[in-house]
Amino acid sequence: MLELTTHRIAVTGGAGFLGSAVVDGLRARGCRDIVVPRKAQYDLTQEAAVQRFFDVERPDVVIHLAAVVGGIGANRANPGRFYYDNLMMGALTMEYARRHGVTKYVGIGTICCYPKFTPVPFREEDLWNGYPEETNAPYGLAKKMLLVQAQAYRQQYGFNAIFLLPVNLYGPGDNFDPSTSHVIPALIRKFVEAKVLGASEVEVWGDGTATREFLYVDDAAEAIVQATERFDGADPVNVGAGFEISIRELASKIAALTDYSGRIVWDSTKPNGQPRRCLDVSRAERLFGFRAHTDFDEGLKRTIEWYTRTTARKALAV
């Protein structure tokens, strides 16, 4: 077991949605020597900046959360950027971590790494049995290369790199920008705005049949901290809540929780994305003791409350 309090820990993306929760989780463990590189100072897609970061900051544990992410629309609009930036950040940070003798590197993948038609529940053994869903394949494949690199470096250099595969996250502090947000914040914003403006209907992409699994951000952070402490294996590990919900049911649930009573209109000319998503999460529980504990409805209520309290008024004023 890695005693985190004795290490200097770098959390790339540590000022972001998931990263902030991970930093809070580390501090709750008693960690005080935490480094959060900011893009203005260290652009992790640039080799010179990555080299300078390791030369100056000298972390001995790296949790790599920095990523360029978004929903289906953002992935379709930016496939080249999503591929290149995510690939370079992962490859460079792991390579310079190795060169600097870092004790442990924690790579964070995505459920988008899985093949489009992976049998449900997704098992880690199925990760290479097909091509990812087309709308987010460049992003998913770029993140998947972290696993290839981690396993290759472990084999050749004895480098301790692990790879985690989280499902879609949600919670307070999420990204509610309609051009880049994922489905839960996008729906929350749509329904809150529709209620305030008195709109009679809300349009949602797809036909509602696709299913997803969602993990509350604080649970995801706890999983990452636990894995950093307790897991040192080469195999990828799913991180999720182990349940499945259709987008149609999700939309109805969020409409009810935001007290919106209008009509939901499905735009079936827009893509559904991957048909189904739900993880087998038994490996995470077995290897480092993680199990999600936040009730989904409670997590949605907290997210809606945070949005209406901090963001909705500004969004409606734009």
Q: For the range 310-318, what are the long-range contacts, defined as Cβ-Cβ under 8 Å and sequence gap of 24 or more?
A: 311/176, 312/189, 312/192, 312/193, 312/196, 315/176, 315/189, 315/193, 316/193, 316/196, 316/197
Strands 201-205, 263-267: pairing is parallel
Torsion angle, alpha carbons of 189, 218, 163, 15, to 10: 70
Block residue for tokens 């529709």:
194
The Cα 205–Cα 81 span in angstroms is: 23
The tokens for 202 are 């809300």
- Residue 164 DSSP SS3: strand
Burial of residue 248 (number of CB atoms within 10 Å: 0-12, 13-18, 19+): middle
Q: For residue 48, give every residue at least 6 positions away whose Cβ sits within 8 Å of its Cβ, in sequence order, or none.
A: none
- As annotated, the active-site residues are 139
Q: Of 96, 95, 21, 108, which is closest to residue 67 (Cα–Cα)?
A: 108
Q: For residue 164, give every residue at least 6 positions away whose Cβ sits within 8 Å of its Cβ, in sequence order, or none.
A: 106, 107, 108, 109, 223, 224, 227, 236, 237, 238, 239
Q: For residue 29, give every residue at least 6 positions away whose Cβ sits within 8 Å of its Cβ, in sequence order, or none.
A: 4, 5, 225
Q: Of 166, 168, 167, 165, which is closest to residue 186 (Cα–Cα)?
A: 168
